[in-house]
């Protein structure tokens, strides 16, 4: 039996567990704490920056993959040299660990992206020129997520504290019409599949809702999104699920915002909507199985993130009204801005499922819905 080791015990590892059971893979999770979202699959609780712990975890594991992108690359190279497959490989993962490295790599590959610059105290004026001046967007290159580590910069004073820490990624502020995500997957042999792009809606830098497939997307942009993902996956030897976050601009272009090389929040709707979920696909890819069909079972899907403590008690009321709504609890303690679960509704009428999904969300998250 192939043994897959997942580093990180968050909800993405949690949702890999049922997919691994169905595929007949053994999944072992390296969790950060006893109360992690993926504790059901945890075989090790510890510190993923500690090489000795990683080496011990890798013993008996055929392939290492990830719930997050924060494992030191040198440690992963060490595991690879010692004979454990690491997918995505460190070369690819490097692009998801540092947004400046990602911008440089995408530029070298000739891919479309916002105007950007790596800013320091010494080159600030030139960097601001590169991104067409203020206001612009500033990003901490390392460690940001869910909008933490992203700021709108109105005046240079807004940057002072971050510049004191090291280089800051500056980007032009893109006046996009909407944000999209292209989910895809690649196997070690190079076999590549893509789902249809989805539309993601952010609130305060955090994904709030996903519509699948992206409503009204032209065939041209659909093909362009897939081409961008194919190039990234092939150029950087990505293995596993690749999510490409994209801006659709007013003049009908796509710009790459950022990358994830693991299942991604924008792909949760596929669990109900697609023949193959992103979790199954990720495991198939890293275990080198033939990839599954990305066809959609239902023409439309909606995913809404739930941030408050989405207890089963509140879900009872939702389930009574709408037996076709699917709720996924991450079993995480609620904290402001932290995703605690999501709900999905699929069907043939996009307006109907969106309205019904919102009604359900208001029941699950009454305080947020009122605010
Ligand atoms: N260059 C930009 N122009 C306009 N909005 C942006 C830009 N970069 C990021 N954003 C907004 O901020 C959100 C979070 O940025 P992102 O780089 O994806 O960081 P995170 O790692 O937190 O997801 C994006 O989804 C988008 O809504
Ligand atoms: Mg993002």
- Whether 100 is in a domain gets the answer no
Among the ranges given (73-82, 143-152, 282-291), the one the predictor scored with the smallest mean pLDDT: 143-152
14-28, 90-104, 122-136, 333-347: least confidently modelled range: 333-347
Q: Are residues 161 and 41 in the same domain?
A: no
Do both 15 and 77 map to the same domain? yes
Asked if residue 42 belongs to a domain, the reply is: yes
What is the tens place of the pLDDT at every residue in 285-324?
999 999 999 999 999 999 999 988 756 778 888 899 899 9
Ligand 1 in contact with 146 (CB < 6 A)?
yes
User: Do residues 231 and 258 share a domain?
Assistant: yes
> Comparing 239 with 335, which gets the higher pLDDT?
239
257 and 228 in one domain? yes
Q: Which of 172, 200, 220 is the C-terminal boundary of a domain?
A: 172
- Specify if 104 maps to a domain: no
Atom of ligand 1 nearest to the CA of 245: 18
108 found inside a domain: no
We report the CATH number of the domain holding residue 21 as: 3.40.50.20
Domain-located, residue 272: yes
The band of 329, judged by pLDDT with boundaries at 50, 70 and 90, is very high
In a domain, 234, yes or no: yes
- Residue 224 Cβ contacting ligand 1 at under 6 Å: no
Ranges assigned E (strand) in 8-143? 26-31, 42-45, 63-66, 85-86, 116-119, 136-139
Shared domain for 141 and 186, answered yes or no, is no
List the CATH number of the domain containing 132: 3.30.1490.20
Sign of CA dihedral 236, 242, 247, 248: positive
| Tokens 């049922």 -> residue | 18
**Cα R_g (the chain), whole angstroms:** 20
Q: Which residues contact 7 (CB under 8 A, 6 or more apart)?
A: 30, 48, 54, 57, 64, 65, 66, 67, 68, 71
Q: Using an 8 Å Cβ cutoff, are 128 and 134 in contact? A: yes
Are 305 and 265 in contact by the 8 Å Cβ rule? The answer is yes
267 and 189 in a single domain? The answer is yes
How many separate domains does the chain show? 3
For residues 150 and 122, what is the distance between their CA atoms, to the nearest angstrom?
21
User: Same domain for 336 and 262?
Assistant: yes
Q: Is residue 110 part of a domain?
A: no
145 with 74, same domain: the answer is no
Task: Judge whether 79 and 64 are in contact, CB under 8 Å.
Answer: yes
- Which atom of ligand 1 is the closest one to the Cα of 205? 13
The response to whether residue 137 sits with its C-beta less than 6 Å from ligand 1 reads yes
Instruction: Establish if 143 belongs to a structural domain.
Output: yes
> For 262-287, what is the mean pLDDT?
98
Q: Please state whether the predicted TM-score (pTM) of the whole model is above 0.95.
A: yes
Q: Is the peptide bond before 135 cis (omega within 30 degrees of 0)?
A: yes
Domain edge (last residue) among 172, 197, 218: 172
Span from the CA of 97 to the centroid of ligand 2 (angstroms): 13
Ligand lying nearest the CA atom of residue 102: 1
Q: What percentage of the chain has pLDDT greater than the value 90?
A: 89
Please give the residue range of the domain that contains residue 288. Answer: 176-370
- Residues with Cβ within 8 Å of residue 200, at least 6 apart in sequence: 179, 180, 181, 207, 209, 210, 245, 266
Average pLDDT over residues 258-282: 98
Of 172, 188, 207, the residue that ends a domain is 172
Instruction: Report whether residue 147 contacts ligand 1, using a CB cutoff of 6 Å.
Output: yes
73 with 180, same domain: the answer is no
CA of 245 to the centre of ligand 2 (A): 7
Residue 38: is its pLDDT beyond 70? yes
Residues 78 and 220 both lie in one domain? no
Shared domain check, 133 and 55: no
Task: State if residue 26 touches ligand 1 by the CB under 6 angstroms criterion.
Answer: no
State if residue 129 touches ligand 1 by the CB under 6 angstroms criterion.
no
| Residue 370 confidence (pLDDT) | 66
What's the average model confidence in pLDDT over 16-33?
98
Report the C-alpha gap between 132 and 82 in whole angstroms.
47
What distance in angstroms lies between residue 321's CA and the mean position of ligand 1's atoms? Answer: 36
Q: Assess whether 230 and 364 both reside in one domain.
A: yes
How much is the pLDDT for 303?
98
User: In this predicted model, what pLDDT tens digit does every residue of 210-226 receive, in sequence order?
Assistant: 999 999 999 999 999 99
pLDDT band at residue 365 under the 50/70/90 scheme: confident
């Amino acid at each position: 039996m192939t043994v897959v080791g997942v580093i990180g015990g968050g909800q993405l590892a949690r949702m890999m567990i049922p997919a691994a059971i169905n595929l007949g893979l053994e999944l072992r999770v390296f969790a950060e704490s006893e109360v992690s979202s993926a504790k059901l699959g945890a075989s090790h609780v510890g510190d993923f920056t500690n090489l000795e712990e990683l080496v011990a975890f890798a013993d008996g594991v055929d392939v290492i993959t990830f719930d997050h992108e924060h494992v030191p690359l040198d440690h992963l190279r060490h595991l690879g040299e010692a004979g454990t497959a690491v997918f995505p490989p460190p070369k690819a993962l490097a692009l998801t660990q540092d947004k400046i490295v990602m911008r440089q790599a995408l530029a070298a590959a000739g891919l479309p992206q916002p105007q950007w610059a790596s800013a320091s105290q010494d080159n600030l004026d030139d960097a601001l020129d590169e991104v067409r001046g203020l206001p612009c967007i500033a990003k901490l290159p390392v460690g940001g997520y869910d909008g933490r580590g992203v700021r709108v910069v109105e005046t240079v004073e807004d940057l002072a504290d971050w510049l004191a820490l090291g280089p800051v990624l500056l980007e032009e502020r893109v006046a996009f019409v909407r944000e999209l995500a292209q989910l895809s997957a690649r196997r070690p042999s190079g076999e590549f599949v893509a789902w249809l792009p989805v539309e993601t809606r952010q609130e305060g830098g955090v994904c709030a809702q996903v519509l699948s497939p992206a409503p009204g997307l032209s065939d041209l942009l659909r093909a362009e999104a897939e081409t961008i993902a194919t190039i990234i996956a092939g150029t950087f030897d990505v293995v596993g699920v690749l999510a490409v976050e994209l801006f659709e601009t007013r003049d009908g272009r796509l710009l790459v915002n950022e990358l994830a090389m693991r299942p991604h929040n924008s792909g949760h709707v596929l669990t109900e909507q697609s023949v193959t979920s992103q979790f199954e696909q990720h495991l198939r890819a890293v275990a080198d199985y033939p990839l599954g069909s990305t066809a959609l079972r239902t023409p439309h899907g909606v995913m809404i993130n739930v941030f408050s403590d989405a207890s089963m008690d509140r879900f009872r009321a939702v389930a009574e009204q709408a037996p076709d709504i699917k709720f996924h609890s991450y079993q995480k303690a609620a904290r402001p801005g932290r995703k605690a679960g999501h709900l999905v509704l699929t069907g043939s009428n996009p307006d109907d499922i969106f309205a019904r999904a919102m009604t359900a969300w208001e029941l699950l998250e009454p305080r947020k819905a009122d605010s």
